[in-house]
Amino acid sequence: MTALRMEHITKVYPNGVVANRDIVFDVAVGEIHALSGENGAGKTTLMKILFGEETATEGKIFIHGEEQYIHTSQDALKLGIGMVHQHFMLVPSLTVTENIILGIEMRKGLSIDYTQSKKLVQEYGEKYHMYLDPDAKVKDLSVGQKQKLEILKVLIRGAKILILDEPTAVLTPQETAELFTELKHLRNEGFTIIFISHKLSEVRELCDHITIIRKGESKGVYALADITDEEISQKMVGRDVELTIARSEGKRGKTLLKVENLSVLEEGGKPRVDNVSFNLHEGEILGIAGVEGNGQSELVDVITGLGNFQHGSVLFQNKPIKYNHVKEIREAGIGHIPEDRMSIGIASNLSITENLLADKTRWKEFFGKNGLLIKQKIRSFSAKMVEDYAILCRDPEVPISSLSGGNIQKVVLARELSSKPQLIVANQPTRGVDVGATEFIRKQLLSMRDAGGAVLLVSSDLRELFGLSDRLLVMYEGKFAACITDLTSIDEQGLGRYMLGLDTQDTEMVMRNAQ
């Protein structure tokens, strides 16, 4: 029995972008159905049409066999369709309960009936194994808890068809595992789930069928049992994708970055980074593994000059790195691919070209002697970048915010690498990025290493860490729990134990290997 059928959907945005072209999308009751495709393929657009946030230019929607006209999300909710968006739609200063009841408030006289509401939140939490403190403020929740809250919100509104748009992009592996157990529970209770993800392993673990779209067109529906990962990525990207990247032995050169006894304390004096030391050499990719929030972000902030530190020293080519001296740090040759690309990676209202030039405002070749823009040179530079990095856009002058996530990340990468850094600090470089672009970004990092540069790679994707790192440090509660020099000596399980603090290596040995 089909839960929903979208027939011949075409969507043209007002700016002329054709996001969906004649797509047919069919989902059976009680299945988890994957929707996959490159960044910008039109997945979110298709789901927004189903949820009534966008209207299709052409096409029909059938819910449980009956044709329906969905104009607003209210219509969709009435039909039992709920959506958890790619970005959280929560109000941080309100409580869990308040966020959930927003729009469906139960009343007692004129007031909201909070007692009744909290009870409802607790009931649903227990029923679907998603327990949350009803009185907790949303801003105090972890990312995983926020995700649960979003799902609860949808369930309480009576949705039977759940759309989850890249729910795992921001989750740690542990949180993802937990989410999957919950989703399987829901499926067993008869819910229909549409699951969007760029990670094929996740799709394979969770889903029954996959619909693949490329450049707004459907490339077919497959049972996951009948299709290999290679075939899926081939259909998504339109060419063969290397899922595991061939890499040569690195040639380790002289020390580039020297971190000694570094501590970062929070205001109360509690250490976020706790007396760590390590060296990073030319021609080396040093991976940093760890469950998010164990000091990785603070470490990255110190090295890129964005965060302060209280003890120890950081030397880059024997010169100390100082807090807030970002300009000097960049000029010395450190590039940064930040974790949060939307807020600190780019200026979203500016064009691709302007974003590419953001770190090059002192380059004589673009700004001449009298400080005026040399348009011609700039134009040819950005045209070359767009071509070299295969940035999908109409032209380089469009605002960067109109690009899809993966293409925005490519712009950041192009900007950072074109400044020819000797060290690049890459924090979650392929999060939310499609397989094709992921392959591309990883290759770029590797070729930078092969050319004698250094990479500090922070990632929550264990496969990425295994695939790229020459050495791997595992952070747990601000310290290094392990330093792995031979990556073939350990598997994901073993690494997971260090990440959770269940195992730790001998401190002496970590110190020695980290040098």
Partner 1 sequence: MTVLSTIFSFQFVDMWLRVATPLIFTSMGAVVCERSGVVNLGLEGIMLSAALMGVLGSAFSGSLFIGLLSGLAMGLFLSAVFAYFHLVLKANEVLCGTAINTFAGGFTVFMLEIVTGEKGTSASIKSMAFPTVDIPIIQHIPVLGQLLSGHNLLTYFAFIMVGVLWYLLYKTPIGLRIRAVGENEHAIHSVGISVTKVRFLAIMICGVMASLGGMYLSMGYLNMFVRDMVAGRGFISLAANAMGHATPVGTMLSALVFAFFDGLSNILQALKIPSEFVQMLPYAATIVGLVLYSIQRINAVKRHKAKSFA
Positions in the binding site for ligand ATP (CB under 6 A): 13, 15, 17, 19, 37, 39-45, 86, 402-406
| Interacting residues with Mg ion between 64 and 123 (CB under 5 A) | 86
Q: Which of residues 26-85 bind partner 1 (CB under 8 A)?
A: 53, 72-74, 76-77, 83, 85
Helix (H, G, I), strand (E, B) or coil at 277: strand
59, 8 contact by CB (below 8 A): yes
Find the binder of partner 1 among 17, 24, 29, 94 (CB under 8 A).
94
Beta bridge partners of 399: 351
Q: Which of 137, 157, 185, 215 binds partner 1 (CB under 8 A)?
A: 157
* CB-CB contact of 252 with 281 (8 Å): yes
**Cβ–Cβ < 8 Å for 290, 475:** yes
Choose among partner 1, Mg ion, ligand ATP, none what residue 13 binds, the Cβ cut-off being 5 to 8 Å by kind.
ligand ATP
Toward ligand ATP, which CB reaches closer, 386 or 455? 386
**What's the CA dihedral at 39, 42, 45, 49 to 10 degrees?**
-150
State yes or no: residue 147 binds Mg ion (CB under 5 A): no
- H or E stretch covering 334: strand 334-337
Give the one entry of ligand ATP, Mg ion, partner 1, none that residue 107 binds, where binding means its C-beta sits below a cut-off of 5 to 8 angstroms depending on kind. Answer: partner 1
CB atoms within 10 A of CB 282: 19
8 Å CB contact between 477 and 501: yes
Residue (80 or 432) nearer to Mg ion, CB: 432
Pick from 101, 288, 385, 499: which binds partner 1 (CB under 8 A)? 101
Applying CB under 8 A, among 104, 177, 344, 509 the residue interacting with partner 1 is 104
40 binds, among ligand ATP, partner 1, Mg ion, none (CB under 5 to 8 A by kind): ligand ATP
Choice between 207 and 259, CB closer to ligand ATP: 207
Q: Which residue is nearest to ligand ATP (CB)?
A: 44
Residue 233 or residue 294: which is nearer to partner 1 going by CB?
Answer: 294
Instruction: Answer for the pair 293, 463: CB distance below 8 angstroms, yes or no.
Output: no
CB of 375 to ligand ATP, least distance (A): 26
Is residue 44 part of the contact set for Mg ion (CB under 5 A)? yes
Residue 37 near which of ligand ATP, Mg ion, partner 1, none (CB within 5-8 Å, type-dependent): ligand ATP
Residue 330 is a binding residue for partner 1 (CB under 8 A): no
The radius of gyration computed from the CA coordinates of the chain, to the nearest angstrom, equals 24
Cα distances from 18 to residues 5, 40, 42, 424, in angstroms, run 21, 11, 9, 36
Tally of CA atoms within 13 A in the half-sphere of 184 that contains its CB? 12
DSSP string, 180-229: HHHHHHHHHTT-EEEEE-S-HHHHHHH-SEEEEEETTEEEEEEEGGG--H
Please give the residue ranges that form the binding site for Mg ion (CB under 5 A): 44, 86
Please give the residue ranges that form the binding site for partner 1 (CB under 8 A): 53, 72-74, 76-77, 83, 85, 87, 89-94, 98-99, 101-105, 107, 110-112, 139, 153, 157, 266-268, 270, 272, 298
